[in-house]
């Protein structure tokens, strides 16, 4: 019996090993995704990761740029791998742990200082002329060094219907004279009285980076901030000072009075269906609302909470990994890619604000007289980057939690004090993150 079972066992082991080896071979067939390497014909392969999987419009532009670049010279071949956005940062962190980052990778603007501090990316080192031509918020800096650059930015605004404001005797704000907090609050109360059960879709049903992106500019407009930007060593006084407390008390009361809600759906459906009168949302939702409201749509500046309106700046940008074996090739690609025609293509296909003046003119949506041109103005006037510190990753999650607690009725001062304590403890345990 033993004699018969041994060959069976060996066969089973061999079969398993063969199967796994075959699997391994299948996986290895296209090579890894590490830094540059020699491809056929002496060209050097430049690996590239994007967060754009599942976004065919964005991928189409990248594929075009890569095809054009690869066809324009014989030294480098860019090879792209795309990841879904929600999983992208985890993939990069894992890649960094395994020493398997690509040469080129994109990243959300606020994370740039953290990845620079962690040693994932190196100074960008591309032509200064290109950097100078971009919107300031499309450039990622850490400790005065440029680490990333992007083709576009996004902007938030208040969407409204002109007819609704006019019928209710509400002044239409302009960039010269935006709504004050009192006016904004009074407008919401008036609209609630006019039959809008929840007059403002403030987007509180969303989660993650949306919270600091959307609400920290309101805090900054009120005179507070996420951190003391002079030292980047403490949030004390910025996030829990009297201005911040005053803003968050209004924020809390807006939910208590039913002026805003955390119900509803992510996106702009409620505004498009005229279920809410005002929507605090981004440029990416503008086409749908233009379709729904037509000429009646107003793209309004956000309210002035005391220190001028503010909106969040910095979107996805490109950097070069620290371990890239052929950074010159990566730079050559990036310099090639910052052409107005590509930037305009991104802007029109993605509905985002082009980062250069030339692309703005080429764009069918953001040029002079185009329907989404107001976003360019809002971005230029009010965009403020989120604090360029490696601590931002922690600040972001702490701010979201504190904001949600306050929305749900927590005591404002003690919640903000607790948030400051957490942020400061993190900064201290990381020796100030280089500041």
Partner 1 sequence: MSSDTTRGGPPSGRLGTPDQMAARDAERVRSAEEAARRRRRRKVVGYVPMVLLALFFLFPLVFMFVSSLKPDAQILSDIDSPQAFLPVGDISLDNYSGVFDRVPVARFILNSVLVTTLIVGLGVIVNSMAGFALSRLEWSGRKVLLTVIIATLIVPFETIAIPMVYWVSKLPTIVMENGVPMYDFGWLNSYHVQIVPFIANAFSIFLFTQYFSTIPKSFDEAARIDGAGWFTIYRRIIVPLSGPAFATVAILTFLPAWNQYLWPLMVVQQEELRPVMVGMQYFFQINPAWGEVMAYTSLITLPVLVMFLAFQRAFVSSIASSGVKG
- Which chain residues interact with partner 1 by CB under 8 A? 1-2, 4-6, 8-9, 12, 16, 19-21, 23-28, 30-33, 49, 53-56, 81-87, 90-91, 93-95, 97-100, 102, 265-269, 282, 284-285
Shortest distance, position 69 Cβ to partner 1, whole Å = 21
Shortest distance, position 388 Cβ to partner 1, whole Å = 23
Q: Which is nearer to partner 1, 324 or 412 (CB)?
A: 324
Q: Which is nearer to partner 1, 231 or 265 (CB)?
A: 265
Q: Which is nearer to partner 1, 323 or 405 (CB)?
A: 323
Shortest distance, position 289 Cβ to partner 1, whole Å = 12
Q: Which residue in this structure is represented by tokens 């008390």?
A: 249
Shortest distance, position 434 Cβ to partner 1, whole Å = 23
Q: Which is nearer to partner 1, 86 or 409 (CB)?
A: 86
**To 5 degrees, how large is the angle CA 328–CA 44–CA 117?**
45
Shortest distance, position 97 Cβ to partner 1, whole Å = 5
Q: Which is nearer to partner 1, 46 or 165 (CB)?
A: 46
What is the β-pairing status of strands 156-161 and 278-282? antiparallel
Q: Which is nearer to partner 1, 29 or 369 (CB)?
A: 29
Shortest distance, position 331 Cβ to partner 1, whole Å = 22
Shortest distance, position 29 Cβ to partner 1, whole Å = 8
Q: Which is nearer to partner 1, 85 or 234 (CB)?
A: 85
Shortest distance, position 191 Cβ to partner 1, whole Å = 22
Shortest distance, position 403 Cβ to partner 1, whole Å = 20
Nearest CA to 229 out of 113, 333, 98 is that of 113
Q: Which is nearer to partner 1, 256 or 275 (CB)?
A: 275
Q: Which is nearer to partner 1, 156 or 235 (CB)?
A: 156
Distance CA 187, CA 191 (A): 6
Shortest distance, position 319 Cβ to partner 1, whole Å = 17
Q: Which is nearer to partner 1, 53 or 381 (CB)?
A: 53
Q: Which is nearer to partner 1, 53 or 186 (CB)?
A: 53
What is the β-pairing status of strands 297-300 and 316-321? unpaired
Shortest distance, position 413 Cβ to partner 1, whole Å = 34
Q: How many residues can be counted in the chain?
A: 435
Residues 6+ apart with CB under 8 A from 42: 74
SS3 of the chain: the string is CHHHHHHHHHHHHHHHHHHHHHHHHHHHCCCCCCCCEECHHHCEEEEEEEEEECCHHHHHHHHHHHHHHHHHCCCEEEEEEEEEHHHHHHHHHHHHHCCCCCCEEEEEHHHHHHHHHCCCEECCCCCHHHHHHCCHHHEEEECCEEEEECCEECCEEEEEEHHHHHHCCCCCCCCCCCCEHHHHHHHHHHHHHCCCCCCEECCCCCCCCHHHHHHHHHHHHCCCCCCCCCCCCCCCCCCCCHHHHHHHHHHHHHHHCCCCCCCCCCCCHHHHCCCCCEEEEEHHHHHHHHHHHHHHEEEECCCECCCCCCEEECCEEEEEECCCCCHHHHHHHHHHHCCHHHHHHHHHHHCCEECCHHHHHHCCCCCCCCCCHHHHHHHHHHEEECCCCCCHHHHHHHHHHHHHHHHCCCCHHHHHHHHHHHHHHHHHHCHHHHC
């Amino acid at each position: 019996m033993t004699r018969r079972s041994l060959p069976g066992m060996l066969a089973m082991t061999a079969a398993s090993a063969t199967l796994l080896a075959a699997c391994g071979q299948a996986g290895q067939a296209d090579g890894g995704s590490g830094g540059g390497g020699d491809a056929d014909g002496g060209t050097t392969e430049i690996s590239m990761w994007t967060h754009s999987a599942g976004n065919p419009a964005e991928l189409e532009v990248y594929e075009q740029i890569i095809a054009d670049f690869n066809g324009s010279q014989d030294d480098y071949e860019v090879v792209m791998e795309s990841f879904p956005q929600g999983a992208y940062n985890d993939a990069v962190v894992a890649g960094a742990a395994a020493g398997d980052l690509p040469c080129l990778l994109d990243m959300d603007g606020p994370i740039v200082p953290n990845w620079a501090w962690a040693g994932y990316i190196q100074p960008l080192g591309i032509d200064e002329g290109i950097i100078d031509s971009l919107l300031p918020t499309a450039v990622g800096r850490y400790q005065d060094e440029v680490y990333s650059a992007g083709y576009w930015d996004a902007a938030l605004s208040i969407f409204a219907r002109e007819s609704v404001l006019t019928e209710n005797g509400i002044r239409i704000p302009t960039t010269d004279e935006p709504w004050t907090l009192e006016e904004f609050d009074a407008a919401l109360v008036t609209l609630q009285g006019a039959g809008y059960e929840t007059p403002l879709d403030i987007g509180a049903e969303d989660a993650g980076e949306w919270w600091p992106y959307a609400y920290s500019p309101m805090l900054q407009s009120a005179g507070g901030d996420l951190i003391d930007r002079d030292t980047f060593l403490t949030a004390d006084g910025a996030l829990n000072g009297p201005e911040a407390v005053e803003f968050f008390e209004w924020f809390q009361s807006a939910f208590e009075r039913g002026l805003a809600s955390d119900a509803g759906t992510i996106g702009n459906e409620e505004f498009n269906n005229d279920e809410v009168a005002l929507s605090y949302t981004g440029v990416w939702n503008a086409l749908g609302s233009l379709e729904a409201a037509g000429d009646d749509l107003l793209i309004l500046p956000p309210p002035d909470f005391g220190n001028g309106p503010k909106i969040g700046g910095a979107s996805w940008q490109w950097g070069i990994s620290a371990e890239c074996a052929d950074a010159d090739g990566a730079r050559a690609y990036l310099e090639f890619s910052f052409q107005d025609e590509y930037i305009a293509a991104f802007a029109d296909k993605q509905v985002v604000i082009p980062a250069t003046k030339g692309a703005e003119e080429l764009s069918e949506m953001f040029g002079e007289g185009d329907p989404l041109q107001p976003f360019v103005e809002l971005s230029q006037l009010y965009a403020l980057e989120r604090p360029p510190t490696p601590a931002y990753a922690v600040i972001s999650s702490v701010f979201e939690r504190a904001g949600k607690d306050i929305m749900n009725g927590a005591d404002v001062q003690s919640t903000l004090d607790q948030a400051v304590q957490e942020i400061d403890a993190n900064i201290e345990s990381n020796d100030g993150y280089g500041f």
